[in-house]
């Protein structure tokens, strides 16, 4: 028996979705006043009416919005206007990257496009072709990098200029290396930013963690990104950004229990992903990937909710990480 007032694991997963749902409900009511009833919202978001009632209470009492109700549905008596907001170059660039990430997962709207269009119009003229071409590819939210570094990287991307950087290599105990690179893509991933660039000293594509860049200077030499460049092709079958550490492409088969399965069926983590539902609510998931340390860490996030069916070396690697965790934590 659980403790009084405890939240069941499944409920916790649903609770994590509440902020996004509340914002979406506000958007729907603003766009379609007197259209949405509590029952209609419950059906749209596939939750019970009690959960929608909690969302509406947050809108009224937590966010202090003047939400009202009539027979036809909910509406706002007034919507507060935001004051004028100014952004630094790096902040505005981060916002546009985040919107690009959202559009890849189906988050889009006329109002969002309009707002970002107005933001893009405030950029220096040389940035606009870059923003329209979507060559800044975003995969997830990021932070943890110096604003000046991000601004200089953004300038290099916009002007197609080479960079000289001093970089601390993680797998060499932080050894500093100097190199000239052609920046192709800047993206937030996990909790930091990464630069995807062609390294002239290596003669190949490399991924640089921005916070490991110790010195950075913009060169007067320009370059052209190949028309057929694709981040997805550059990554190949590797999982995540650590493609230099990826093993050979192989089939990975996993079984997630019903609790984790509710999450997994809603998100595509890799283009090769295939999901099959089981009778008990669990899911069988298959990938064709090059396994990376990043993939092992991703599996550890699910703890006891996932079983590695194949390959055996991955099963052993996950088990070894679990044992190490137990030993370190006593």
Segment 79-99, tens digit of pLDDT: 766 565 666 665 666 666 655
| pTM (predicted TM-score) | 0.50
pLDDT, averaged in runs of 10, over the chain (330 residues): 40 62 86 89 90 92 89 85 61 62 48 63 60 45 60 82 91 84 82 87 89 93 87 77 79 91 73 88 92 88 89 93 74
Cβ-contact 300, 321 below 8 angstroms: yes
Where are the strands (E) in the chain, listed by range? 67-69, 74-76, 161-169, 175-189, 192-199, 204-209, 213-222, 249-256, 274-277, 283-290, 306-310
Q: Which long-range contacts (CB under 8 A, 24 or more apart) does 39-47 make?
A: 40/73, 45/21, 47/14, 47/21
Looking at CATH, the fold of the domain delimited by 89-235 is given as SH3 type barrels. (2.30.30)
- CATH class, 10-76 region: mainly alpha
Domain boundaries, the chain: 10-76, 89-235, 243-328
Q: What span, in angstroms and rounded, lies between the C-alpha atoms of 49 and 82?
A: 31
Enumerate the β-bridge partners of residue 307: 255
Q: What span, in angstroms and rounded, lies between the C-alpha atoms of 49 and 94?
A: 36
Q: What is the pLDDT of residue 4?
A: 37
Cβ-contact 142, 188 below 8 angstroms: yes
Q: What is the pLDDT of residue 141?
A: 38
Residue 20 dihedral angles phi and psi, to the nearest 5°: -65, -40
Pairing of strands 249-256, 306-310: antiparallel
Q: What is the pLDDT of residue 135?
A: 44
What's the per-residue H, E or C state across 289-304? EECCHHHHHHHHHCHH
Q: What is the pLDDT of residue 9?
A: 41
Q: What is the pLDDT of residue 107?
A: 46
């Amino acid at each position: 028996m659980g403790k009084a007032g405890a939240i069941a694991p499944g409920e916790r997963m649903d609770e994590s979705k509440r902020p996004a749902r509340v914002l979406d409900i506000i958007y729907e009511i603003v766009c379609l006043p007197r259209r949405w009833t509590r029952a209609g919202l419950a059906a749209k978001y596939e939750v019970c009416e009690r959960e929608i009632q909690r969302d509406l209470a947050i809108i009224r009492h937590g966010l202090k919005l003047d939400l009202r109700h009539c027979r036809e549905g909910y509406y706002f008596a007034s919507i507060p206007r935001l004051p004028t907001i100014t952004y630094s170059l790096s902040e505005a660039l981060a916002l546009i990257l985040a919107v690009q990430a959202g559009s890849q997962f189906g988050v889009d709207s006329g109002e969002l496009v309009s707002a970002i269009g107005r933001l893009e119009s405030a950029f220096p003229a040389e940035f606009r072709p870059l923003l329209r071409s979507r060559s800044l590819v975003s995969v997830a939210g990021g932070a943890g990098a110096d604003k000046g570094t991000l601004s200089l990287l953004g300038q290099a991307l916009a002007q197609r200029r080479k960079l000289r950087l001093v970089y601390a290599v993680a797998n060499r105990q932080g050894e500093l290396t100097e190199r000239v690179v052609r920046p192709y893509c800047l993206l937030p991933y996990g909790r930091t930013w990464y630069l995807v660039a062609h390294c002239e000293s290596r003669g190949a594509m490399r991924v640089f963690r921005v916070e490991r860049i110790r010195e950075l200077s913009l060169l007067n030499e320009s370059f052209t990104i190949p028309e057929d460049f694709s981040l997805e092709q550059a990554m190949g079958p590797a999982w995540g950004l650590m493609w230099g550490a990826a093993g050979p492409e192989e089939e990975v088969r996993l079984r997630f229990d019903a609790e984790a399965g509710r999450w997994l069926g809603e998100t595509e983590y890799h283009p090769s992903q295939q999901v099959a539902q089981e009778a008990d609510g669990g899911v069988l998931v298959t990938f064709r990937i090059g396994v990376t340390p990043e993939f092992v860490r991703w599996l550890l996030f699910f703890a006891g909710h996932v079983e590695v069916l194949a390959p055996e070396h991955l099963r052993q690697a996950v088990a070894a990480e679990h044992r190490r965790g137990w030993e370190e934590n006593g």
